[in-house]
Amino acid sequence: MNAIAGVLFHFIGGFASGSFYVPYKKVKAWSWESMWILGGVFSWIIVPPIAAYITIPNFWNIIRDSDSNTLGYTFLFGLLWGIGGLTYGLGVRYLGVSLGSSIMLGLSMVFGSLMPAVYYFFNETIGKHGIDYFLSTGPGICVMIGLLICVVGIYLCGYAGMLKERGIKSQSEDLRPEYNFTLGIVVAIVSGILSACFNFGIEAGKPMAEIANNLWKSANPGQGEFLYQNNVTYVVILWGGFTTNFLWCLYLLMKNKTYTDYTKSSSPLAKNILLCALAGTTWYLQFFFYGMGESRLGNGASSWILHMAFIILISNAWGIALKEWKGVSKSTYRAIIAGIVTIILSICVVGLAKTLE
């Protein structure tokens, strides 16, 4: 039952993450940096403490009493993840919601699920799944198979992207969208690798989550794991993420003089703010439900893989709904559909792994 609930929570989180960029597409007369930083204020600064306060009223005391190593590494990984999140927005800009998310999140899935296991293996961390878990146990091998299947799905999505680019090059200049496969793929690789640092940040902040979990257990004996234990960790990780994004967007706002976007008479200010707030809040909800899913599934690798796979699935569904693949050849459309189906299969395999434990 826990496994089913965990998969459901990850699906809801994946839906939130795969959908958050859609409101940004409705923002009018603003530059990318203007809308991105405003949405980030909601997703990284405003909403996380509110969610933490609602679920863990004493969360600030937990952060205040944590040792400097825990806070420092959690913030550092958030800082690095912030670069991944920043380039994620650019990747979607140049590749589209569907293709950009498939490549970036697929890479994040691979690095985010395996690198913590390598760390635990070499540091012999007690009670954690090292890389040997994926090579010598039935559930671990099943997770690895699911991961490999997902990599095939990512390849198919990338292949579809190359076919799409060839078709776009045959269009006249004024009909081409802001699609740039070469630039987008470079940005996507950087984003995919650094976005995995969020999972590292969750692991680095585990001492804070464990305190929240133990406090809840002492007040609610026999109730199992605390669903919202990671909410306190998110606050610190997202401080790091906000720092990176704020500095870069501030640079762009000054360089391009786009800070005037907020005072343009031609822009629908109230509507744009509302859309950015909706995008930012929806973005945060992915990790709110990720924490709930992880508390039910237990294994960080399985949770991360499911979370990323669901985001890829939902992002591709939005890509089709937003007609990003409209007008492409049948072979291109078959490639993206095959990629989506393969990723769905990988989700099923990873879910099966949890039933083997």
Instruction: Check residue 175 and give its pLDDT.
Output: 41
SS3 content of the chain, % helix, strand, coil (to 5): 85, 0, 15
Kindly state the DSSP code that residue 326 receives in the 8-state scheme.
T
DSSP 70-86: HHHHHHHHHHHHHHHHH
- Considering only CA atoms, which of 106, 121, 131 is closest in space to residue 193? 106
Instruction: Check residue 110 and give its pLDDT.
Output: 67
- CB count within 10 Å of CB 252 equals 18
Cβ distance 150 to 349 under 8 Å?
no
> For every one of its 357 residues, what pLDDT tens digit does the chain have, with 9 covering 90 and above?
566 777 788 888 888 877 888 899 889 989 989 999 999 999 999 999 999 999 998 999 999 999 999 999 999 999 998 888 778 777 777 776 666 766 776 666 666 666 555 555 545 544 455 566 667 777 778 878 887 887 888 788 778 877 776 766 555 444 445 667 777 778 877 887 787 788 788 888 999 999 998 988 888 887 767 778 889 999 999 999 999 999 999 999 999 999 999 988 888 999 999 999 999 999 899 888 887 877 777 655 667 677 777 877 777 777 777 777 777 788 888 888 888 788 778 777 776 766 666
CA-CA distances (angstroms) from residue 269 to 15, 27, 33, 191, 262? 27, 9, 15, 30, 7
Rounded to an integer, what distance in angstroms lies between the CA atom of residue 297 and that of residue 283?
Answer: 22
Q: Is 298 left (phi over 0), alpha (psi -120 to 50) or beta?
A: left
Q: Is 327 helix (H, G, I), strand (E, B) or coil?
A: coil
Extents of the domains making up the chain: 2-355
